[in-house]
Amino acid sequence: MLDYRSTVAASAILAGALLVGCAEPDEPTDLRRDGPPNITAVTVMSDLETASDPDPIGIGQIVETATYCRVGDEKRPGIVGLPDIRVVEVCPAKLADPAPGEGVAEAAPPVWFVRIVFDKLLDPSIEELVPDVDANNQPTGKLKGTFKNTQPVVLTCNGADVPYDGYYVPNGNRSSWPLGPALFIQPLDPTKVPTESSCTVSIKDNVHNKAQQSVPAEQRSFRFKIGPMVFRFSDPDPSDGIDGAITRDPKTPVDFFWTAPLQEGTPAGPEPGAVALSTIDPAQIKIFSGPNVGVGPGTPDGNADTTVCNGGGTAVDPSLVRAYLAGPDVGTTELILRLDLKGGTPAMATAWAPNTTYRITFTPAAKVKTRQGGAEAGFPADFKLCFHTTE
Amino acid sequence: MNKLFSAVIAAALTVGVISMVGSDRVASADGFNTGSLRGVVKDKASNEASIGATVVATSPALQGEQVVIADENGAYYITSLPPGSYTLTVYYNDATFSRSNVLVQVGKEAVVNFAIDGSAGKGETIAISGNAPIVDQGSTKVGTTITSDYTNNVPSLRTFGEVMGSAAGAQSDRYGVSFSGSTSAENTYVVEGLNTTDTGFGVLSSNLPNEFVQETEVITGGYNAEFGRAIGAIVNVVTKSGSNEFHGSVFGHLQPNALTADARTILREGTAIDRVLNQDYRYDLGAELGGPIIKDKLWFHVGFTPTVIKQTTTRIISRNIDKLDNATGLPVAGGDGIPDADPSTGFTTREELARRGIPENFKTYYFTAKLTGAISSNHQWQISGFGNPESDTQLVATIRDPNTAQLHVDKGAYDISGKWTSKFNDGRTQFDAVAGFHNGYNNQTPIDARSDVAAIRYNYSRSLYDFADLEGPAVAGCQDGGMNDPYPGIVNCPVQDYTDRGLGFLESRTNNRISAVMSLTQRVRAAGQHVFKIGMDAELSSYNSARRYTGGAFLVRTENDTTDPMNPLAGQFTLSQYLKYDPMGAVPCGLDANGDGVGDAKCSVIPRLDANTNDRSIAAYVQDQWQILPNLTINAGLRWEQQIGYVAQFLQNKVAADTGETIPEIGYELNNLIAPRIGFIYDPTQEGKSKLFGHWGRFYENIPMDMNVRSFGGETTRSTVVGVNSVGDPNNSCVLDHGAMNLTDQVLGCAPGTTKMLGGTISYVAPGMQGQYTEEMIFGGEYEILPDLTVGANYIHRTLPVVIEDMSTDGGANYFIGNPSVNYDGEANKLDQKAAMTSNETLKALYQSRASQLRAVKFFDPPTRNYDALQLTAKKRPTHNSLLQASYTYSRAKGNYPGLFSTETNQLDPNITSQYDLPDLMPNRFGPSGLDRPHNLKIDGFYQWNLKDVGVIITGMSFRAQSGLPHNTLAAHPVYGLDESYLLPRGALYRSPATEQLDVHLSYGYALNRTTRLEGFVDIFNVLNAQDEIDTDERYTDQTSLPIVGGDAADLAHAKLTDDNLRQTGTIITPNKNFGRTSVRQTPLTGQLGFRLTF
């Protein structure tokens, strides 16, 4: 029979095996189990397309940039897969490295937000759940989260408080997109925050984990910047055809999209037509034109005159050029500079002459101003748009 | 063969040859088909060894007799005994001693000691009373043995595949029976020494009725190096053989509808179609006969049993009711626009409109034929053929066109095996060989041309009345609007995911295996007794697959977008088709190495995807059963395995159109799979009545060939969205819906919008990929507390340190196969060097891409599957008179990898499931597995009441009680879709209640003469008609939402939706109304009548 020592040894082996079997591993995808809630990263929405387009085509443009990465923390986000079959590196692979843009990561106006990522789940009472409503303010039957009353952070830009709302996202971890768990902070009116502002988001005491532990004091405040006003794209876009092949209804102006609301010109208000002129000097907008070629039976509109596209054509009188705001709608038309040739007296009946080829370029002095404050923005130096109008 | 393999073989052969030359003992070899006996013959008075005593074993199961001589210690060893009841006769000093009722079971070694009276007179025969001990002293194996006494008298289902779950801790899973925390696809099924496991998916393929089976040994762990290619259990089946007398039986079973209770309808919210499945009848009528062709030289056994099952799924159409104000519960004229809810169930109140039965038929023709021959007592052979061809008409689904809801399936298996056993050197050396062929097949075909067209699934909730042309008058009461609408404020008959027209995916496949197994056994005396055994086996397997979508495509239609009343958009169709690489094709496909957004190769659409694939598995082993003392044995072994999976034949040596690489013949190669085993057996009683034992071993998986077909078979599919423009914007370019003439053809003719390619030529395999293996440690003890009654206790610990899975580390753009969480940096560096050496820019990009992917593998969660079990058992020796087999298992199965199929989504793609596809699929996957049932109690038994001249009554029972399964909280993943996001940790929220089932058996038998008995019996399964919950709906939401890592129910209330553009929102996800509701219940009470005429 087994003697006493053998029995003890066998029991020890058995107990060891049981312990191995019962141990809960700390998986790389797990959150941290103990201690106060640490902030592993703070990101800002930095993607221009998503920032400006509430309903973007495709799913790719959802990138956020870290303005803070907790140094030495293995639970901070690293390489993360995006839902569109891409990966991004949020924080450097080397844990000793801070975020490349620490404190100065630029949030893309006008629809920017801040995401504060934690290594633990928070007490979910930091957000309230309220009925969700649709665009017509009708209940959708769903709930949504809000910080309207709990206000877990202080958000300031250039020293001024920025009203915000947001919600708590318990979902996510360091390797999934969007990152989480996180506080999602979104200004109520981002177009009132000047571009290129220096902003700070500061955590309040009411943010704590389920064990009621608060965020450590040294992790309470994070800085970032609002990006400058920049040109995004035009409609039509030059990439659609630089040889003038783009056709345009003569009644349709050309639009230029920006990342911040445009400041109205001086004097503001209705100029010829019910539009608000922009601050851009029409003389800095260079437009050349020439009749379409090949107009005849079967091709009543003709084709583009490529010589116009290649530097030829007749310069259009700057007094005819009209640059104005597309409209006052927050987040959409206020971001669009609209261009046509209805600036004369009397104004042309259409935005462009029919059956005509146009080339549009801008001088370096062609600048637009942002209404919310911040530096002027210009057009890309090599910008050239060539199109021809129909009949 | 590589060097290591050669070394193992050489060492094994050396040991064998030396043993043959220098040994002086009789060999012992428990093969797949036999058991063995050993013991000591001593003088009762002096306790001295009876040297030279002659021990003779005889049995009706044995051709001739086996004779051995006791050695200088009085020890004797008799091996290769077919299972059965034996009589041992000892001849010593002119006296004869006899002991009958010695039970020999497959794979077991019983100890039968003789204390003889040396003073017995010449010619005297002394019968030794009492039964021999039944504790297996030869191995550390745990499991159970199922004999015909069990299957005849304990209420049992009809085949060995249906009764093997009686082993301690076993439980049913989606594809069979799970043992020791592994999935059923990890078992190996050996019949007549032949591996009959399905080559494609690792599941049961060959099956036989109990009447054809002599014994089924279910080995759930602790086995030595001679067994392999399983990380679950080994199910070892021996069919009946003939004997020197003609014996057989005629039998029949009937489960009539009249003895079957109605199944409870499983209610579902949000659908007008419910279903309830009831068995109409099940019957079989068969016969088996065995006997001598030449007595003691050549025996035969044959059997044939057709089995027919008919069952009906009743499809019930019901209509929502809106008569009450749900806020007050009071009637309100015209309703309140919300379907009324039944406060007692929480389900919407509905009224039945119509019901329709859709029958299913299953016809299986089991057969067996066996010849057993003995050239002499030292040279024996056996040829066995068996099969289970089956022809079925099956139900496809209920939420679809009821006129095309059936499918024809031909499936089953044919097997033939031959076995040879020779003993040499006066029986000291033994050679065993088994060779055979397994043919499995499964061919799915449409019933008629109507269902052989493209299927269309409407992937949203709509009115069943939309399909009135298919449903007929049954849905007249479903019409919304108009004079006949009784509840105008609601959708009367909503239906989700209705499928129309074709059947969808079909496969026809054959799964063959040629096997050869050889072993050489030698007993050597050196510091005790050694039984050395060396062996090798080889398997050449194939999986030939023809896959297709009926009509060449599968379509999914999304909901119309009516958010803009001025410009409503028709829904979109997503069209899935198979492609093949074709230089003349027009479809871009394959890898996008040049980064232009489309694949770099050319493909064409094909109606059917064929892939013929092969696999070669070789193993060799050496093991030693070292009996240090008569009551202490050490078992040690080393097993070497190699598996090579080949690329589909049509792709081999072709130049891959996408990568420019020449496609190799070999898809993957697993070399040097070294599986050591070591164990001990100690018998404190020294009489074979007890044992303490322990075992540690490593067991490698044999990868099922589904991987060959899917990852190395050129599987390429194209998903095309029509009704959108080239950048994915919805438009009205394909304005079609159900009811349109020639809908399928018209949709196929719509202008294609965005496309997405899946798959490619072959998958990349991580260099140095290791085999998937389990490590197991067992400690236990067994003791015969009363004659013929043993009790035992075992502790089992199993882990799964290495897993093979397909992965993507670039968000799903490219997939490769490897070991998740392994550090492949070294291999990545080699690829970078290779990239630097090539001037081919395509290859350079390819190598760099692969290096980048390999470097990220280490970031995956390490695969974990821990199984810890404490088993308590009680076993009574099985006899014709009574049997008791009871077990209680407390176990915990935890981890993040359930096994070869996903217990949550039921995806059966061994080693290429979605479980490790992306790192962000991993959060919250650790927890109680989908097979975690902490408590599992089984009690089986019967007792025979002998009424002498009146006859015999047998009462039997089977009782099962087990914990319910833990359940998950699942959402949709942004890329992988439904049920792939674990909102809360695995199994954290809810566990189904425990279930119990009691089955009883009552039979009356009457002896017609000395050898003939007629028996009638009745089995009642689930006497209490318990129809408790087995499974639930785990889909918390069908919306996209990421895991709440480590979260609980309080967090769940705050789970946020990721919107259609896959961006974060503050909206709380909408729960599925069926979440947590019962989805599967226990099978209702079923009665079975039967008769058995045995002779």
User: Any idea which residue has 């003569």 for tokens?
Assistant: A250
Q: Which residues of chain B lie closer than 8 angstroms to A121, CB-CB?
A: 1044-1047, 1051
| Interchain proximity B1044–A20, CB inside 8 Å | no
The verdict on B866 touching A (C-beta cutoff 8 Å) is yes
- CA dist A319 and A282 (Å) reads 7
- CA dist B985 and B924 (Å) reads 4
Has residue B813 got a pLDDT over 80?
no
Q: CB-CB: which of B779, B797, B1044 is closest to A21? A: B797
Q: Which comes out higher in pLDDT, residue B602 or A155? A: A155
| Interchain proximity B1056–A57, CB inside 8 Å | no
Q: Is B194 helix (H, G, I), strand (E, B) or coil?
A: strand
Buried b / exposed e along A121-137 (16+ C-beta atoms within 10 A): bbbbebbbbeebeeeee
- CA dist A132 and A145 (Å) reads 9
From chain B residues 901-960, the ones with a CB under 8 A of any chain A CB are 918-920, 922-924, 926
| Interchain proximity A31–B867, CB inside 8 Å | no
Closest-CA residue of chain B to A131: B1067
Q: Which residues of chain A lie closer than 8 angstroms to B859, CB-CB?
A: 28, 78-79, 175
Cβ-based neighbour number of residue A231 at 10 Å: 17
Instruction: Tell me the pLDDT tens digit for each residue of B128-173.
Output: 776 777 788 888 999 999 999 999 999 999 999 999 999 999 999 9
Instruction: Tell me the pLDDT tens digit for each residue of B599-640.
Output: 777 888 999 999 999 999 999 999 999 999 989 999 999 999
Q: What percent of chain A stands above pLDDT 90? A: 56
CB of B192 closer than 8 Å to CB of B31 = no
The verdict on B642 touching A (C-beta cutoff 8 Å) is no
Q: Which residues of chain A lie closer than 8 angstroms to B799, CB-CB?
A: 20
Long-range contacts of B580-584 (CB under 8 A, 24+ apart): B580/B604, B580/B606, B580/B609, B580/B714, B580/B716, B581/B656, B581/B657, B581/B658, B581/B714, B581/B716, B581/B761, B583/B657
What per-residue confidence (pLDDT) applies to B64?
83
Closest-CA residue of chain B to A29: B923
Has residue B269 got a pLDDT over 90?
no
Q: Which comes out higher in pLDDT, residue B187 or A133? A: B187
pLDDT tier, B709 (very low <50, low <70, confident <90, very high otherwise): very high
Q: Which residues of chain B lie closer than 8 angstroms to A22, CB-CB?
A: 868, 892
Closest-CA residue of chain A to B754: A58
**Averaged pLDDT for residues B419-429:** 86
| Interchain proximity A145–B1064, CB inside 8 Å | no
| Interchain proximity B1068–A184, CB inside 8 Å | no
pLDDT tier, B23 (very low <50, low <70, confident <90, very high otherwise): very low
Instruction: Please name the residues in contact with B4: beta carbons below 8 A apart, sequence gap of 6 or more.
Output: B640, B671, B672
Tokens matching residue B178: 């799970």
What per-residue confidence (pLDDT) applies to B24?
35
The verdict on B839 touching A (C-beta cutoff 8 Å) is no
The verdict on B1067 touching A (C-beta cutoff 8 Å) is yes
Q: Which residues of chain B lie closer than 8 angstroms to A85, CB-CB?
A: 810-813, 975
Has residue B777 got a pLDDT over 90?
yes
From chain B residues 256-295, the ones with a CB under 8 A of any chain A CB are none
What per-residue confidence (pLDDT) applies to B1061?
66
Q: Which residues of chain B lie closer than 8 angstroms to A167, CB-CB?
A: 1056, 1066
What per-residue confidence (pLDDT) applies to B661?
85
Distances in whole angstroms, Cα of residue B371 to Cα of each of B18, B273, B286, B367: 35, 54, 20, 14
From chain B residues 340-369, the ones with a CB under 8 A of any chain A CB are none
| Interchain proximity A30–B684, CB inside 8 Å | no
What per-residue confidence (pLDDT) applies to A18?
52
Closest-CA residue of chain B to A74: B859
Q: Which of B147, B176, B161, B166 is nearest to B220 (CA)?
A: B166
Best of B632, B1040, B1064 to mutate (most A CBs within 10 Å, chain A): B1064
Has residue B249 got a pLDDT over 80?
yes
From chain B residues 962-991, the ones with a CB under 8 A of any chain A CB are 974-975, 983
Cβ-based neighbour number of residue A108 at 10 Å: 28
Tokens matching residue A157: 């830009």
From chain B residues 673-692, the ones with a CB under 8 A of any chain A CB are 682, 684, 692
Between A58-62, B390-394, B952-956, the lowest mean confidence (pLDDT) is in A58-62
What DSSP state is assigned to residue B212?
Answer: G
Q: Which of B23-32, B82-91, B499-508 has the highest average model confidence (pLDDT)?
A: B499-508
Cβ-based neighbour number of residue A54 at 10 Å: 11
- CA dist B506 and B523 (Å) reads 54
- CA dist B1095 and B1092 (Å) reads 10
What per-residue confidence (pLDDT) applies to A50?
55
Q: CB-CB: which of B692, B811, B1055 is closest to A81? A: B811
Count CA atoms closer than 13 A to B882's CA, side-chain side.
Answer: 8
What per-residue confidence (pLDDT) applies to B21?
35
What per-residue confidence (pLDDT) applies to A62?
62
The verdict on B326 touching A (C-beta cutoff 8 Å) is no
What per-residue confidence (pLDDT) applies to A9?
52
Q: CB-CB: which of B777, B919, B1058 is closest to A17? A: B777
Q: What percent of chain B stands above pLDDT 70? A: 95
From chain B residues 699-758, the ones with a CB under 8 A of any chain A CB are 727-729
**Averaged pLDDT for residues B984-1013:** 94
Q: CB-CB: which of A62, A146, A170 is closest to B1055? A: A170
* ipTM (interface predicted TM): 0.86
Q: CB-CB: which of A56, A86, A168 is closest to B1061? A: A56
CB of B618 closer than 8 Å to CB of B721 = no
Q: Which residues of chain A lie closer than 8 angstroms to B864, CB-CB?
A: 25
Q: Is B711 helix (H, G, I), strand (E, B) or coil?
A: helix
Q: Which residues of chain B lie closer than 8 angstroms to A21, CB-CB?
A: 797, 866-868, 892, 894
| Interchain proximity A169–B1046, CB inside 8 Å | no
Distance from CA of A24 to the nearest CA of B (A): 9
Has residue A117 got a pLDDT over 50?
yes
Distance from CA of A330 to the nearest CA of B (A): 20
pTM summary value: 0.87
Has residue B1039 got a pLDDT over 50?
yes
User: Any idea which residue has 């969480």 for tokens?
Assistant: B821
Report which secondary-structure segment, H or E, holds B92. strand B84-92
Best of A18, A27, A53, A118 to mutate (most B CBs within 10 Å, chain B): A27
Distance from CA of B461 to the nearest CA of A (A): 17
Q: CB-CB: which of A28, A144, A171 is closest to B1042? A: A171
Instruction: Tell me the pLDDT tens digit for each residue of A331-340.
Output: 788 889 999 9
Q: Which comes out higher in pLDDT, residue A82 or A318? A: A318
| Interchain proximity A86–B811, CB inside 8 Å | yes
| Interchain proximity B1067–A82, CB inside 8 Å | no
- CA dist B501 and B554 (Å) reads 10
Distance from CA of A253 to the nearest CA of B (A): 24
CB of B73 closer than 8 Å to CB of B41 = no
Best of A176, A183, A237, A239 to mutate (most B CBs within 10 Å, chain B): A176
